[in-house]
Amino acid sequence: MPRCGVLDSAVRSPYHSSSLMKILVIGSGGREHAFAWKLRQSPHAEHIFCAPGNAGTGEIAENVAIPATDLDGLARFAKENRIDLTVVGPDDPLAAGIIDLFASEKLRAFGPTKAAARIEASKIFAKELMRTQQIPTAEARTFSDSSEALRYCERLKFPVVIKADGLALGKGVIIAPDMVTASSTIDEMMNQGRFGKAGRRIVVEEFLRGTECSLHALVDGKNYLLLESARDHKRALDGDQGPNTGGMGAFSPADNWTSKLQTQVEAEIMQPLLHGLLQRRVEFRGLLYPGVIITTDGARVLLCGHSCAGIRRLSRQIRNWKIDFRSRRRSEARRCPNFPCRN
């Protein structure tokens, strides 16, 4: 079996020949605290910086007052401080191309390039990719005109799901129980600029019934290593009666995940998804996140993303990781499934 190059290449440093590494974690949330907490446990971690970090990371790492959106400032800091590996948490710097910038400066960074990050940064891109690859997902249409979206909703059976195309901090998905809610949601997103540019285009899709399950996979472009499953609690209020949130809590492994579902997900979702990206000359390297819902017809994809999937969900998984990012990368990576991805 081939080695999973995402782990192998991520730890080779242009600066240090010894086993000790300087690591930069970009972000300021609970996810970044979990990253720093886990990386700090490695005997190969010499020093960990967090930019900008938070009160929690300040107790286990050195916080640096550089915003996650200041790509040039982060690259300059990484060069001046001879950082061996940078781990990027938030969506925005990935969507803005921080991995491309670091690569151009010969700096090692973990995460997808700007082109690959579109799978999270644009729900329309992800939906079209899934449709082309015949990946099981909700029936949907995309709109750039609010009046057309409204006319489409009038023909639908409620509830329906309305999604802002771009990044909206996990709050760009609205479940509309009726036409009144759908109309106000579309107007707020497309005409009133509730989510800025992220809501200028939207996806309207059928509402799928079932239980959700979140997956994460380490990917090197062609090979992947599927990690433990997880479930989070998305909607506010008792009985899931409130709006979607960015994720209010999580547990891992998921209690609705089975070996049969894993076989289906690998064959019908993971493999065609990476194959479709390669057909578009996009090589995804990083942590890929397919969020699925378990229906009576099996698993169907709700959304695709990268490492910035729900903070608590990912943090819960990180607590369970037992792979040391340097010393055990080869033995673990040999378990990556090999599948027929053709360019």
Extended beta strands in 21-84, E state? 21-27, 45-52, 62-63
3-state SS class at 230: strand
pLDDT, residue 248, reads: 66
Per-residue confidence at 114, pLDDT binned at 50, 70, 90? very high
> Which pLDDT score is estimated for 339?
42
> What pLDDT, on a 0 to 100 scale, did the predictor assign at position 119?
94
Task: Read off the pLDDT of residues 58-69 as tens digits, 9 standing for 90 and up.
Answer: 999 999 999 999
Rounded mean pLDDT, 99-118: 96
The confidence score (pLDDT) of residue 343 equals: 34
Please state whether the predicted TM-score (pTM) of the whole model is above 0.85: no
Better-predicted residue by pLDDT, 242 or 41: 41
Average the pLDDT over 150-160 and give the result.
Answer: 93
Query: Cβ contacts of residue 258 below 8 Å, gap of 6+?
Result: none
Q: How far apart are CA 80 and CA 82, in angstroms?
A: 6
Q: Tell me if 129 sits within 8 A of 99, measured CB to CB.
A: no
Pick the closest to residue 9 from 277, 216, 220, 288 (CA basis).
220
> CA nearest 298: which of 137, 189, 57, 90?
137
Residues facing 294 on adjacent strands: 211, 299
Mean pLDDT of the chain: 85
Tens of pLDDT, residues 100-109: 999 999 999 9
* Cis amide linkage into residue 159, ω under 30° from 0: yes
Q: Delineate the domains of the chain, giving CATH numbers in brackets.
A: 5-110 (3.40.50.20), 139-206 (3.30.1490.20), 209-333 (3.30.470.20)
Parallel, antiparallel, or unpaired for β 62-63 and 85-88? unpaired
Lowest mean pLDDT among 112-126, 232-246, 306-320: 306-320
